[in-house]
Amino acid sequence: MQEIRNQIELLSYDYFLETIQLRRHIHQYPELSEQEFVTARFICNTLKSYGISSKLLLNDTAVIAMIEGQNPKRSMIALRADTDALPIEEEGNSTYISVNKGIMHACGHDVHTASLLASAYILQKLKDLWEGSILLIFQPSEEKFPGGAIRLIKAGLQEKYTIDAMLAMHVSPEIECGKIGMKSGKFMASTDEVYINIKGKGGHAALTHSFVNPVLIASKTLIELDKAFHAAMPDEFPSILTFGRIIGEGKTNIVPNDVFLEGTLRTFDEEWRKEAHKIIKKTVTKIAKEHNGNAIIKIANGYPVLINDENVTNICMQAASSYLGEDKVEKLSYRMTSDDFASFSQEVPSLLYRLGVQIEGKELNLHSPTFDINEKALEHSPGLMAYLAINLLTNINR
């Protein structure tokens, strides 16, 4: 394994400048969820240049491809990268700034895609040195419910391919460049979208006897919801219920008929998640009725809890320590953020790990118009994923 490790590392370093160019091209031409047509074609053409055949799925927005090593039926590992961008206007003056107005790769999916393409290049070059099969999944629509992962599952991905384990990577600006982070077990929270329409009776703000004020009801609803949620929340299951949007189309002297609240619920336990739904509905309905109003509540089920399989994580942690050095592999805590890779993790033993892309001296946040990465991470990222995949092929079914 040491010899193949050295060859992977050499190829990863040799392909570094090409990987940067791949990332910059994808970054410059971002596409929103369910619209990744140009990105998908670019991926297919790049794979073709490596001698890898691919196919398009999900209305030509998803790409899958297979690399077969020796004894291809021995085991199969899937490697996934998400490809969509966000509706954000990029700020900055880089030579590869987004040319698509109002669209930006602000969550690193350009990095994930470029890195997986480079991993494919390495694995294809060395396919005579490893056994098994590696399925490449370039997945659209991670940023938009219901997510590309569940759509691929429903399209029959698992019925067609017997996948023994899956890997994915996500950039992390909090982690030093050159390092990665992993956590076994529950890693990222489930996420649901909460929509509440508080219905009152509008009128002139001075005629207090003539209206039912939905603004007042909404204010009390938020306070009482926060109390009820935290009173019921089990200590062992970190959870949040946060509202980020309130819309009431009134004026200084006009009380509106409706106020709309929008928020997110995130948990780490499915039973508590269901109970939280009940608490939200019960509390909102109660407060509205107490003030002679009504409420319409919609909770859109989003991504489930992302679970990193213990065996897969242990294999990869040992392999990553061998590839990068033990001091370069951090053990992480849980995250309240979500990723639709969780849908895969509910079906197949999986691991999503974090890639350090920190730029020293800069505070860069995901989903912000100034987000960028330390491209030095692309020197080792493709080789690392290739090495993890080969280690999983060797050890997953032992």
Contacts of 59 (CB under 8 A, 6+ apart): 34
* Structure tokens, 368: 């912000």
Tally of domains in the chain: 2
Cβ–Cβ contacts within 10 Å for residue 235, how many?
Answer: 5
Whole-angstrom distance, CA of residue 68 vs CA of residue 387: 15
Using CA atoms, how far residue 229 sits from 221, 258, 289, in Å, is: 12, 24, 19
pLDDT in tens, the chain (398 residues): 889 999 999 999 999 999 999 999 999 999 999 999 999 999 999 999 999 999 999 999 999 999 999 999 999 999 999 999 999 999 999 999 999 999 999 999 999 999 999 999 999 999 999 999 999 999 999 999 999 999 999 999 999 999 999 999 999 999 999 999 999 999 999 999 999 999 999 999 999 999 999 999 999 999 999 999 999 999 999 999 999 999 999 999 999 999 999 999 999 999 999 999 999 999 999 999 999 999 999 999 999 999 999 999 999 999 999 999 999 999 999 999 999 999 999 999 999 999 999 999 998 999 999 999 999 999 999 999 999 999 999 999 76
pLDDT of residue 79: 99
Q: Can you give the residue range of the structural domain that contains 357?
A: 2-188+305-395
Instruction: Specify whether 194 is located in the same domain as 238.
Output: yes
Which residue type does 336 have? M
117 phi, psi to nearest 5 deg: -60, -45
Say which DSSP state 77 is in: E
pLDDT of residue 398: 65
Instruction: Specify whether 311 is located in the same domain as 296.
Output: no
Of the residues 278, 301, 324, which one is the last residue of a structural domain? 301
Count of residues in the chain: 398
CATH number where 15 lies: 3.40.630.10
Which residue type does 390 have? I
Instruction: Specify whether 223 is located in the same domain as 366.
Output: no
Whole-angstrom distance, CA of residue 318 vs CA of residue 315: 5
The model's pTM is 0.94
Whole-angstrom distance, CA of residue 227 vs CA of residue 99: 46
Of the residues 251, 285, 301, which one is the last residue of a structural domain? 301
Among 86, 81, 76, 85, which Cα is nearest to 139's? 81
Of the residues 274, 301, 328, which one is the last residue of a structural domain? 301
Instruction: Specify whether 315 is located in the same domain as 296.
Output: no
Say which DSSP state 366 is in: T
- Mark 138-154 as b/e (b = at least 16 C-beta within 10 Å): bbbbbbbeebbbbbbbe
pLDDT of residue 397: 77
